[in-house]
Structure formats: C-alpha cells, structure tokens
Structure 1
Amino acid sequence: MGGAAARAVLLLAAAVAALVGGASAQLSEEFYDRTCPDVHRIVRRVLKKAHQDDPRIFASLTRLHFHDCFVQGCDASILLDNSTSIVSEKFARPNNNSARGYPVVDAVKAALEEACPGVVSCADILAIAAKISVELSGGPRWRVPLGRRDGTTANLTAANNLPGPRDNLTTLQQKFAAVGLDVVTDLVALSGAHTFGRVQCQFVTDRLYNFSGTGRPDPTLDAGYRAQLAKSCPRRGGNRRTALNDLDPTTPDAFDKNYFVNIVSTAASSSPTRSYCPLPARPRRRPSTASPSARRPSSRASRAPWPTWGTSSF
C-alpha cells in the first residue's frame, strides 16, 4: 500500500477512534491485560471462523460499531432488545432488516464468557471486532483503548437520525456536527468505510430509473456502468429491492483506497448537486497500483460531490 493510500486508511481509522469522544480519556489499551489477556486473540479467532461462512461479515461488524457509536456513544446500546423499559435501536429505520452481525457478536461474547466470565463489555467487543475486521480485510492496524461500559438505555429517536442513503451534503454535515464530528475530515474519512460491503438495489434504482422524480436515469452516470447495474437491479421483476451490489467493484472485500479512487475516476461526469444516494463507485477500467498522488485528478474533480453515504447492506 502506497504512502498516500496508507494515510487515507489511517485517517479513517482515526475518525473511527474519534467516535469514542470524551470518554477516551478514561480508557486504556491495557484494560484487560490482567483480567482477560487473550481478548484480542479470542475475538480474532471467532471472526475468522465467521468469515468463512459470510464474506460480508467484516464490513457488517464495522458498520455495526459505527451505528452504535453515532447514537449516544460507543455503549453497545444497538445490541439491546425490546423490553418493558427499552425500545430497541435494532428497529430504527437505518437498522431494521439492515444492520448485520448480531449472531457473530453473540458468538464472540460466548467465547469471552467462557475464558473470562463477566469481564469484557459488549461495547468493547464491538470496538475490538471493528478493529480486527478492518485488519483482516487488509486495512491498517491501530490501538484501541478499552474499558467502555455497556449502556442500559436505547435511543430509537437518535438511531433514526443516523446518516441516511439519501441525505444531502447539508444534512450529513448537520448530523456529523451534532455528535461532535468534523464535517469535512471525519465525514469524508468515514465515508471511506464503503470500500467494502454491499448495497441493496432499492437504494440504487432511483438513480437508474427515476432520478429526482424525472422518470429518467441520473445523467451523471456512466452509460456502461448504468447498464451493468441495471442487470442486477431491474426496473421490474427479479429481486429488484434486496439484490446486492458491491460498493467497491474493484476490490469488494478489501479495506483499501479504491472506493475513493473509483469516485475520483468518475468525478468529471458527476454533478456537485446530486444527493448522497448510495450508488456503488464505478470501477476503473484497469486496476492501478500507483498512489493517488501519482494520478492527480483534473481540476474538474474538485467540483465533484464527496463519497456516497449510508448503505443498507454492509
């Protein structure tokens, strides 16, 4: 991975760490050194086994951690089920039939309970799982401070306000600012998590067939790529709502720079006013190993929108 690419993914890692917020001052990388020294090894073992059956799981767990942290901090409130006193965040619009990975989190918890009963919090499990998921997908390694406490309340209203697939730039900036994230650096960096995972057709079809209510395709779409997407997301018939498309067709299961590279490669034909519909980034015609700095985009690229945000199907 080139220097520019490494900086890009490290920036994303830093943005994920920023979600911890002010609580990070009370956390420690050595929190479980005495009480559960094998915590990372155990989580890694469970995740590698889960990945054998579900290649999407690393992206799903990364997204699950983000959806937890964006709502009242990294407290595992997204794992709480409905009860007499709790309305679960699992049924918020961005999570219902969308957020994935709960059984794997349960498997991690069971393995840790066997090794270290009553020690590792679910909030820390989500943080470690996201970290290891990125590492196992070829992304950077970073240190994760631990010691989070599990929340006992859920916030359905806040969960319904997670960044959405059709939020425009202004709305996204407002949502990020509301939770203390930078509206430029953090927004762009965290968008880079769409470098792996999948998106459901229901969040693509409007740009293929009825962009902004015109009854026509988004004119900024490359014609060849539009035809390719139309095969998996037909206007009628087939599995036109829930069929999946790679967010990064170049390296769909790798955590790398290619999501951004794909977007830059199509920037000249993009409209700066279009909404953030979660259309997968069009793959380049020919994969390249050169760093972004060696392939500087034209001046037109600076007018293009930032990466799409908020998919339903990591």
Structure 2
Amino acid sequence: MNSEIFSLSERLVSSSYVRQGLQARRGHEQLIRLLLQQGKCPEEGWSESTVELFLNELAVMDSNNFLGNCGVGEREGRVASGLVARRHYRLIHGIGRSGDIAAVQPKAAGSSLLNKITNSVVLDVLRFTGTLCYSLTMISVSLMHYRIEMMWSCAGRASASPSLDVLITLLTLGANGYKKLLAERKELYGHLAQELSALAERHGERLLHTPHNPISLAMSLNRLQTHSTAAVTQLGSMLFTRQVSGARVVPLGVEQTVSGHAFRGFMSHADAYPCPYLNAASAIGITRDDITLCIKRLDKCLKSLSKEASAEKSESGSPAEDVEPLVISIRGSCLID
C-alpha cells in the first residue's frame, strides 16, 4: 500500500488510525530499504511479518504473478498446486538465462533480486564470521542443494529455492542472532568434549586428540573392538534406534567400491586408521539437552554391549581381555559428520 492508498483509506477509517498503520508500514519498509542499500545482514533479526512482506513484494515483480499475464513460452512459472506456490511464496519462475544461470531473468525481476541480495548477505556473513569450517559448511550445503535443484529445473533456469531458504534464515536471525548461535556452539563444544572424555574414561576408552577440528570430536572404541567388530557396528545401530542421530561409528578396515573405485577405510578420514571410533559434532543449533541425552544413551549402550560380551566370554570359558586404550593424535583432520 502506497501513500495514495492510505489517503483513500481515511475516507473509511479514522485518519488517526490510518496514520498509525502507515507508520507501522514504514517501519517495515525502512528495514527493507536498508537491506537493499547496504546489501548486508541486518544487525537484529527481522520479524516474520517483515520477511513475508518483503517476499510478497518480490513475488509480484515476477511475470508469472502479473495480473492479466499471458504466458505462451515453455518456462512460465506455472504450478499445478496452490500449496506448492505458497510454499515458495509464489517465487516460481526461477533465475538465470540460457548459458548463464546467474544472469538477471527479465521475466523474473523479483526472483533475480532475491538471488542477488542473498549472495550479498551471505558474503557479509562470511566477512564478519571469517572463513571458518562452520560457515563454509553452511555455504557448501546450500550450494549442494542449489546444484540438485538445478538438475530438476528447466534448461536455462535455476530454482530460487536455496536462495529463498538462506535469505529467510539470515534475515530472521540477523547478524547478532547468528553470532549468538556461533558463540553457543563454541561453548557447547567444550561441554561435549568434557562429557565425552569422562564417558570414554569410564569405559576404558579415550577422547581422541583433534586440535585442528573445532566442531567434531571422536572417542576410541578399542575395548569394543576386542569383543568383536560386530559389536562396533552394533553400537551405531543401537544409538540410532534409541533416537541418537548423527553419531557416526567408524569401524576398522571397511572397504567400499563406488563407481568402480575402491575406498579403503571407508567413512574414516584415513585409509588405515589405527582404531575404530565414534564421532559426534557440536554443530550450530546443538543444545545442552542434546548432549546430556546423547551421553546418557551412549553410556547405556556401551554398558549393554560390555555385559553381552562378558556373558559370551563366560560361556566360552575365556576371560575378557583387558586392553589399554591407544593414544591417538589426529593432525589436521576434519572428522566432520
């Protein structure tokens, strides 16, 4: 609604009420104006109403949303389901042109603007956070989804969905909200390391030394390996069925052939790592409750497997072997789940 429409509204509703509405509208518009002027992630996150207003304004700039539009081309942003249209805020047309998916699409000014401003905001986030693993991971994931979306798009078009998701997230968080998540993640990394180290010690294992990895941690599974390789892989299954997701168990000597190429030490960061291990990560969004529940359930699983192994040893008449844990140093590893 522009000022003329607000003036016309005063014929129907008290002018004082209309002015209040106009001031509220201008508050949203000021945030959008600053975003377009500066191309930076806002310091404070936007409300959902501001984000939706911005997206709706962008959507009406695409030709598939023009009133009275007559599209006779092959790629006109048509959708059969209104649910799909609403899911994407009617930004359906896509971005790019034949030969250059980054080019501005004449029939989709709104989607093209969305893509340009998203790239600018992401670069700003990388600037104030530094090119650390977690920022690069976020961008890598976005690009991965971007490529997948492109495969399903018509020739000469790319989906604007990845840009839409990233922009909504960053505008909602704001720079301060994103920095807060990074600080919380760093703090919880220390907490996870402390809890995992204590758990490992109770079970005769140790937290692996990974000084160059600020996100992922790993604990050895040497004692479990002495029982059987099956026990190591069983631990991963047990954790998953107990709703512990993301904890990755890496057994010894796994080989996997992919498209004719054999990979030794599959799932591990090295061809022949000296011990099996369990990997857990303190990624953005993890909570203290996540860590508490994970450690509690992991402890129960290790106790259960140890008890089963002891029972099997007793039945076979051979005592369980007591093996000293290895001291492992991982230099420059990435161990990212």
Q: What's the TM-score, normalizing by structure 1?
A: 0.28
> More strand per residue: 1 or 2?
2
Larger radius of gyration: 2
